[in-house]
Amino acid sequence: MGTRLLPEETCENAGTDMIAATGMQVVWLSALLLTGLGVVFAVVLLAASIKLKVQEDPKVEQIHAVLPKVDCGACGFAGCSSYAKAVAADASLIGRCSPGGAATAAKIAAVLNLQISEGGAPKRPIIHCRACRQDKTFYAEYRGIEGCTSANAQPNVQACAFGCLGFGGCVRRCRFDAIHIIDGLAVIDYDKCTGCGACVAGCPRGLIEMVPFTHEPMLVVACSSRENGKTTRAMCAVGCIGCGLCARQSDVFTVKDNLARVDYARYQPSEATETARQKCPTKVIVFRGKGAPADEKVSKAPAAAGAAS
């Protein structure tokens, strides 16, 4: 809007030749300064990286190598190195790296799994219960808070005081969508499971156990009922009645408080374990893991006439 108050040419040529004189000088000087700084830092950092080397636990270093090393703090830890140390100690923190996303989580799991059992088999969760809604007997219909912890606080929500309540406490903790409630029972999808172990703490009844998967699939006693045979039969069609048949077949099984358990340290699939599985009256010994055959169905009628609704 105002007239051109500063005639273009006077300012222009006065300006440019003044700049040009120092133009070459600026280029020369800035190149010198930057390279100088670069040399200083290169020397100092190189010397420092050699002299100040601190040996780090190899496991943490492998995890650190996999992380995006951006130290953005999104995982709640102060930078990737402290997150690596934390994840190495507590595997349930695997999914926390948001910039890295699922790819990084899977890589950490791979590194961790090799490490947890000292290079042995990767650890995977198994659930010590296989009773679906129609296998269980209920004394009343539970209309309380839809959560395992709250349901577990109420007595007699279902006949069996040990079995899976099916309200998804474990589902809520799993970051990899690898565990679902199907027909009132928690079932693990072993293709998605990274073995991070977050679900273990999700189950108020402690039904989930991390087990080294030396073979694929593994034999599991899918029950936690310590009641004697008669009561268990009344409460659940597929419970372990503590008959001890499996223990007699193979020493991999041991029975304590009317409940059979697999000793995973000495677990070795053999003829004996196979016959033990077939002999089990309530088919509670089942295969779990990738490619595990479906559990065998058992007729619904529990032996004793329980007050099943």
Partner 1 sequence: MADNQTSLARTFLAGLWQENPVLRLILGMCPTLAVTTSVQAALTMGASVIFVLIGSNLVVSLMRNLLKPHLRILMFTLTIAAFVTVADLFLKAYQPAMSAKLGPYIPLIIVNCIIICRAEACASKNGLLVSLADAVGMGLGFTGALAVLALVRELLATGQIVFEFGQKVTLVSLPDVPLFRMAGMAMPVGAFLTLGLMLGLVKMVTGKRS
Partner 2 sequence: MDTFETLLLGFLGIVIVNNLVFTKFLGTCPYLGVSGRIDMAFGMGCAVTFVLALAGTLTWLIDYFVLIPYGLNVLRYVCFILVIAGAVQLVEMYVRKFFPVLYDSFGIFLPLITTNCAILGMCLFINLWGIDNLPETVVLSVGAGLGFTLAICIMAGIRENLELADVPAALRGAPITLITAGLLTLAFMGFAGMIR
Partner 3 sequence: MSKLRFFWEQSWLLLVSSLVFGVLLAIADTAWAPRIARNEVEKFTRLAGGMLPEAKRFEPLASKIPVDAGKGKTVQVEVYRAVDDSGRRVGWAFVCEGSGFADKIKLVVAADAGFEKLAGFGVLSSNETPGFGDKITIPGGFYQKQFVGAPAGTLTLVKTGDAERIDGEIVAISGATVTSQAVVDILNRYVSAVRAALQEQGLLTKE
Provide CB contacts within 8 A for 258, sequence distance 6+: 225, 226, 227, 228, 229, 232, 240, 241, 242
Q: Is 45 in the site for partner 1 (CB under 8 A)?
A: yes
Angle at 118 between CA 86 and CA 52, to 5 degrees: 50
Token pair of 110 as six digits: 């791979």
Span from 41-49, 154-162, 164-172, 175-183 in contact with partner 2 (CB under 8 A): 41-49
Q: Which is nearer to partner 2, 82 or 275 (CB)?
A: 82
**Residues 256, 226: Cα–Cα separation, whole Å:** 8
11 makes contact, choosing from partner 3, partner 2, partner 1, none, with CB < 5 to 8 Å by partner type, with partner 3
Residues between 179 and 238 with contacts to partner 1, criterion CB under 8 A: none
Provide CB contacts within 8 A for 150, sequence distance 6+: 144
* Minimum distance, C-beta of residue 49 to partner 1, in the bound complex (Å): 4
Token pair of 159 as six digits: 């006949």
* Minimum distance, C-beta of residue 306 to partner 2, in the bound complex (Å): 39
Q: Given candidates 18, 45, 89, 201, which one binds partner 2 under the rule CB under 8 A? A: 45
Q: Which is nearer to partner 1, 1 or 305 (CB)?
A: 1
**Residues 248, 77: Cα–Cα separation, whole Å:** 51
82 makes contact, choosing from partner 2, partner 1, partner 3, none, with CB < 5 to 8 Å by partner type, with partner 2
Q: CA of 53: how far to CAs of 15, 46, 255, in Å?
A: 53, 11, 53
Q: CA of 243: how far to CAs of 5, 137, 234, 276, in Å?
A: 106, 21, 15, 12
Q: Applying CB under 8 A, which residues contact partner 2? A: 22, 26, 29-30, 33-34, 37-38, 41, 44-45, 48-49, 52, 54, 70-82
Q: Applying CB under 8 A, which residues contact partner 1? A: 38, 41-42, 45-46, 48-49, 68-70, 72, 74, 98-101, 172
